[in-house]
Amino acid sequence: MRAHGKPVSHSQLNLLVRLHTAARRPLRALHALRRFRHEFSVQPEVHACNRVLGALAAAGHVDDTLKLFDEMSDCGVRPMPVTFAIMVRALARAGMTDKLLEMIRRMRVEVCQPDVFVYTALVKTMVRWGHVDGCIRVWEEMRRDRVDPDAMAYTTMVAGLCNAGMVEKATELFEEMRRKGLLVDRTVYASLIDAYVSARRVGDGCRVLKEMVDAGYRAELGTYNTLIGGLCEIGREDKAHKMFQIVLHEELIPSSETVSPLLVCFADKGEMAKFFGLVDKLVELSLPVVEILVDFLKLFACKSGRELKSVEVFEAFRRKGYCSVGIYNILIENLLKIKERKKALLLFEEMQGSDDYKPDSFTYSHMIPCFVDEGNIEEACSSYNSMMQAVWIPSISAYCALVKGLCKKGEINEAISLVKDCLGNVENGPMEFKYTLTILEACRSKSPEKVIKVVDEMIELGYPVEEIIYSAIIYGFCKYASSTEARKVLSTMRDRNIISEANFIVYEDMLNEHLKNVTADLVISGLKFFDLESKLKWKSRDD
């Protein structure tokens, strides 16, 4: 355009800015703004600057937003109220409270005093991004400006304080709202109830519920769930059960969050008549009882000391015909946490012998580590094979346990194969497995120094040098070089106290055994190649 004598104007700049910001390319819009100014002497207008400021702020480029705002002053562009509104919201989102308050003061001096809408937007932004302390400072600044908060500002502030656990401050603002005659909506009441229950002040939560009902509001199911859970936590399941009756009276449909705390209390105290009375009520309401019992058992069995009790409870409602694979899985998982492997194995055998509750992928993923811990690596491999036949992917803990068990048994080839299978199936596999492949790649170069360098990196980053790493060293050098390099690496690790003398002997024996297997495999492969295998006659020592 310049070569043809065509002047570069604000129209072209505004068009570029609009296209870049609409395509969410704020940095390119900023570059265009600066280039037009420096190369073409086109001073940007305030509307173009506002558009770029808004795009930069939305993309989280706060530093670039501040720089552009300063550049506007340098090139004589006078900010508008909208400009300051964009800036304070960007600073609020980033939690930069000091700069935010400074920007508010500049806004007050240069254009106008922030109104209630600006302050409300700031409060809402800071609460959304979790900057509660900064939000309190903005609230105080609003008071200094003698700006009266509206109902929306109060509602947002109370909810933010409640989420941060600042229930006393939230209560003060709540009372202030009522004194001013502002509309207190259901969100404010629900936020206060949640905060009181979290602070174990369940009585205050119930009081706020009464005030809410007296104000003409109908509580949601979530509010009742919160109070029922809180009452059960402090051992007042009698009041919790009365609140459950209120839920039914209000014609709300109970969820598992509604009844699970009550079921936990009844099971804890052995009041199975009340337990099954509540279950029967759920049946009357045509609710999915088995799914609710699964949620109950998750809540009940996960707390320490209840693992064995959960088995007794399970036996009780299994006799009533309430059972599922999910329930078995929860029991097995929690029994294995307390090393009750025998009981877990009995449940697993029950599932295998059942027609209705066959083990699924979660069951096998729990049982593979159990079999490895029991020293039954064959059964662990059988479980893994069952998963492969069903096209199920084991959990990372199952992969790790099985690999470790195979390494201890000297089954190095199978362990390495399992590592590759894990990394191929799992999105983010263990770092030890990733380093296993790195070790193999280093062995391919036939350089013990490179392998030691990888081991040093693992130690520096805090990753344990486990069985699979030693197995990878043995496997890699036997495949790509010779056993001499593997011995050299193991000796270096022993000399540097990375491996103990006793473990060095174990891994040296493993190296010798693996070398024998590799040699035997090569011999058999050669015999097969020359068709000599059928001519050999293997004789036993007795013959």
The 3 state secondary structure assigned to 198-248 is HCCCHHHHHHHHHHHHHCCCCCCHHHHHHHHHHHHHCCCHHHHHHHHHHHH
Containing 298, the helix (H) or strand (E) segment is helix 289-301
| d(C-alpha 201, C-alpha 129), whole Å | 27
| d(C-alpha 543, C-alpha 467), whole Å | 41
| d(C-alpha 131, C-alpha 296), whole Å | 35
Give me the mean pLDDT over the 310-334 stretch: 91
Give me the mean pLDDT over the 102-116 stretch: 88
SS3 1: coil
Confidence of residue 108 (pLDDT cuts 50, 70, 90): confident
| d(C-alpha 499, C-alpha 197), whole Å | 52
Predicted pLDDT of residue 520: 54
Confidence of residue 536 (pLDDT cuts 50, 70, 90): very low
Share of the chain above pLDDT 70, in %: 95
| Span 326-339, pLDDT tens digits | 999 999 999 999 99
Give me the mean pLDDT over the 435-445 stretch: 91
Confidence of residue 539 (pLDDT cuts 50, 70, 90): very low
**535 has a pLDDT exceeding 60:** no
> For residue 473, what are its two tokens?
């060293």
pTM for the model: 0.75
Confidence of residue 518 (pLDDT cuts 50, 70, 90): low
Predicted pLDDT of residue 532: 45
Q: What are the backbone dihedrals phi and psi of residue 44, each rounded to the nearest 5 degrees, phi first?
A: -65, 150
Confidence of residue 318 (pLDDT cuts 50, 70, 90): confident
**106 has a pLDDT exceeding 70:** yes
The most distant pair of C-alpha atoms in the chain lies apart, rounded to whole Å, by 108
| d(C-alpha 247, C-alpha 253), whole Å | 8
| d(C-alpha 264, C-alpha 278), whole Å | 11
> Which position has the token pair 């009365």?
242
Confidence of residue 519 (pLDDT cuts 50, 70, 90): low
Predicted pLDDT of residue 2: 75
> Which position has the token pair 């409300």?
120
**527 has a pLDDT exceeding 80:** no
Q: Which stretches within 426-482 are classed as H helix?
A: 431-444, 448-461, 467-480
**345 has a pLDDT exceeding 90:** yes
Helix axes 289-301, 256-268, angle to 10 degrees: 60
> For residue 460, what are its two tokens?
């520096």
Q: Using alpha carbons only, how large is the chain's radius of gyration in Å?
A: 34
Give me the mean pLDDT over the 62-71 stretch: 90
* Amino acid (1-letter code) at residue 169: K
Mean of the per-residue pLDDT values of the chain: 89
> Which position has the token pair 């020293």?
375
Of 377, 288, 385, 397, give the one whose Cα is nearest residue 333: 397
| Span 14-33, pLDDT tens digits | 899 999 999 999 999 999 99
Give me the mean pLDDT over the 210-222 stretch: 93
Of 226, 278, 271, 272, give the one whose Cα is nearest residue 248: 278
- Domain-by-domain residue ranges, the chain? 429-532
SS3 405: helix
| Span 371-406, pLDDT tens digits | 999 999 999 999 999 999 999 999 999 999 999 999
Q: Give the distance, in angstroms, between the CA of residue 414 and the centroid of all CA atoms in the same chain.
A: 32
Predicted pLDDT of residue 521: 54
Q: How far apart are the first and last CA of the chain?
A: 101
| d(C-alpha 141, C-alpha 321), whole Å | 63
| Span 226-260, pLDDT tens digits | 999 999 999 999 999 999 999 999 999 999 999 99
| Span 256-285, pLDDT tens digits | 999 999 999 999 888 999 999 999 999 999
Sequence-separated contacts (24+) of 67-70 with Cβ below 8 Å: 68/30, 68/33
**523 has a pLDDT exceeding 70:** no
Predicted pLDDT of residue 109: 87
Lowest average pLDDT, out of 278-282, 347-351, 455-459, 506-510, goes to: 506-510
